[in-house]
Chains A and B, each alone.
Chain A
Amino acid sequence: MNWSVLVVLAAAFALNVPAANPPKSAECLTCHDDKSASFHSSVHGSFSCTDCHNSIQGYPHPEKVAKVKCDTCHNDPVSGVTASAHASASAQACQGCHGDAHGILPASDPKSSTYPSNLPRTCGACHGDTKFAKQHKISEVYSMYMDSIHGFALTKDGLLVAASCSSCHGSHKILSKSDPASKTNRANIAETCGKCHAGPKQDYMAGIHGQGASVGNTLAPVCTNCHTSHQIASVRTAAWQMKTTATCGGCHQEKLETYRDTFHAQVSSLGYIETARCWDCHGFHDIRPATDRKSSIAKANLEVTCGKCHNGVTKSFISYQPHADKHNRHDYPLLWTSSIFMNMLLASVLGFFALHTLLWLMRSLSERRKSSPTEGEIR
């Protein structure tokens, strides 16, 4: 509890003194006994009833009493919610997440609905409901999150440092990602993820993607473009690694096409994860263009890069083209010529013998028909 709360409480108390005697908590409990058990162990347990229900000035009190205003004390959180994407739900916004008003526990209490490992279920009450998601035109993110590396670490392994909902979205002033001020807005994603993933963030910012995104290039990917937002998987799983080529290829379509023609791609799609895929050569967070001296695909560094997998790499070996395009006559004239030659060879050899075979078949069949005595009679 901070000073401002105390001041507000003191002020409220001072203001209330001249008025009629507010009832003591014990008096309230003669009727409202059902509230006592959870309330005393709650974060507000040391308060008396009228601290919050301050419209009640004596007994008996009117049937209808004013709603408790949490912002009397919790001004910042409430104004945050009011300005947030949850503003429309603000009628019961506090209790929606914090639970029953009389049993609110501090977020540090493992039983609290806002304790990190309980938070996904709390948020999932709405965001895990497909009907709700459809109605609000948002994705049902709860199940995605729970199967992610974050969800798994937090809720199964009990790692409190793993990202929970509020780690990325904030807690009270949750804004739609389309809002520039949102922690999940494109422009702020690197910052948000970088709070925990400082190393990758530093690398990313040094790479061409980070450089592009930081000057507002909307084509440059941010963390979530490659890792997704809620379904983030461990990059060490084979399943995830198998998908990376398609992920990069989502933007680099031409490069994906030319990669597909190579042996690397062929064995990769058969599930051989040791083979070279995009990031094995290009790196991942600090991807740099070949013109950058620090790039793993800069000509001076190719022997090292290729040498990660291939023993005995030489200057000649690195002239291999991992993105050769047999249709590109200008850049790969020898390959183009070979391709044309092979196509002609295949067409002529197979075409010639197909014709030969067909003629042979027709001739043989007619020969047999002619010499077959039974069919001969029919004729």
Chain B
Amino acid sequence: MKYDDVTTIGRPDAASDGVPARHDEGARYYQRFSVPQRFLHGFLAVTFLGLATTGLTLRFSTEAWATALSRAVGGFGTVLFFHLFSAVVLTIAFLIHVGNLIYRIVAKKEYGLVWGSSSMVPNLKDIKDFIQQMKWFFWRGSKPKFDRYAYWDKVDYWAVFWGMAIIGFSGYAMWFAPFFARFIPGSWLNIALLIHGEEAILAVGFIFTIHFFNTHLRPDNFPMDMVIFNGRQSEEELKHRHPEEYKRLVETGELEKLRVEAPPRWLQNFGRAFGTTAILIGFVFLSLMIVAFVKE
């Protein structure tokens, strides 16, 4: 069977009860994300939305919606509080993640996290996959056979690191300006705000369009990919989206160890509600941002 023929097998067809066929009670399900990983995404999503909504309110503070929103929540103090609160929660989640990685790599010697087929570290295959994907875009080849993480997954992942470094550092520099001014010139605080704002707009623009499309809204996954919410994917999904990983898991006999129950209905509903809310908030603020930009 050619890969192109496989692409439509896992495609959702609306079932009579409104549940997509992807959520097939009879299908075999395999664990993709652990509970801590899903919580990490959840914290990331909530704090990102918290930072984006409050941050855009600050960035476009002369817009009517920004002042109205600020007034509605009880003034600028509340806006800044939620911005800083989200920042701290996100920083803690980020540090726990990095700490956990270091622990697993150094103490438990899980070197597969650094290189190997299921690592988040970009490798030669990602470049090959990207070129293959380009060929596929232009009808010059078949879809690449992705491993556990596609190259855009890795872009999403490292974007957070980049964002944490740039936005996080500039943010804390402004928060504790007199302290940071002992090490950097005060005039760099001007640059800190510029970079903080621009980088944040990049992050917001990226997450609310590209990430939403790549992982959730693109026709193959529409309306959203539930795997990050319920942690499981059906055998078809695994085969279809991560053929290399599937092949490897079958060959090594690891696959059956990952076998799990079908996601419970409550988890599906929770994931849908969470994802829909996040996407809607994202789109609302994205439109407000674009309108404000055009007006500037």
* A contact residues around B152 at 8 Å (CB): 356
**Contact B202 A312, beta carbon cutoff 8 Å:** no
- A313 CA / B178 CA spacing, docked (Å): 6
Tell me which of B75, B201, B218 contacts A364 (CB under 8 A).
Answer: B218
CB atoms of B58 and A360 under 8 A apart = no
* Interface residues contributed by chain A, number (CB under 8 Å): 50
- Is B259 an interface residue, CB under 8 A from the partner? no
A320 on interface, CB distance cutoff 8 Å: yes
Asked whether, in the complex, the Cβ of A335 is within 8 Å of the Cβ of B194, the reply is yes
B67 near A271: Cβ-Cβ < 8 Å: yes
Contact among A270, A334, A359 with B191 in the assembled complex (CB-CB below 8 Å) = A334
Q: How large is the interface on B (under 10, 10 to 19, 20 to 34, 35 or more residues)?
A: 35 or more
| Beta-carbon contact of B178 and A360 below 8 Å | no
Smallest CB separation, A49 vs chain B (Å): 66
A contacts, CB < 8 Å to B: 260-263, 265-272, 310-314, 316-321, 324, 326, 332, 334-335, 338-339, 342-343, 345-346, 349-350, 353-354, 356-357, 359-365, 367-368, 371
Interface of B is mostly: helix
> Contact between A353 and B206 (Cβ–Cβ < 8 Å)?
yes
* Closest chain B residue to A322, Cβ basis: B190
Is there contact, CB below 8 Å, between A310 and B177? Answer: yes
Contacts of A354 in B (CB 8 A): 209-210
Report the minimal beta-carbon distance from B60 to chain A, rounded to whole angstroms: 9
Q: Can you list 25 contacts pairing A with B, beta carbon distance less than 8 Å?
A: A261-B193, A263-B58, A268-B61, A269-B61, A270-B66, A270-B70, A270-B76, A271-B67, A271-B75, A272-B77, A314-B182, A316-B185, A317-B177, A324-B187, A332-B190, A335-B187, A335-B190, A338-B195, A349-B206, A354-B209, A361-B213, A363-B139, A365-B219, A367-B7, A368-B219
The 8 Å CB contact of A357, one of B59, B75, B199, B210, is: B210
| Closest residue of A by beta carbon distance from B4 | A367
Chain A residues near B209 (CB, 8 Å)?
350, 353-354, 357
User: Chain A residues near B194 (CB, 8 Å)?
Assistant: 261, 326, 335, 338-339, 342
A319 to B188, CA, bound (A): 9
The chain B residue with its CB closest to the CB of A307 is: B178
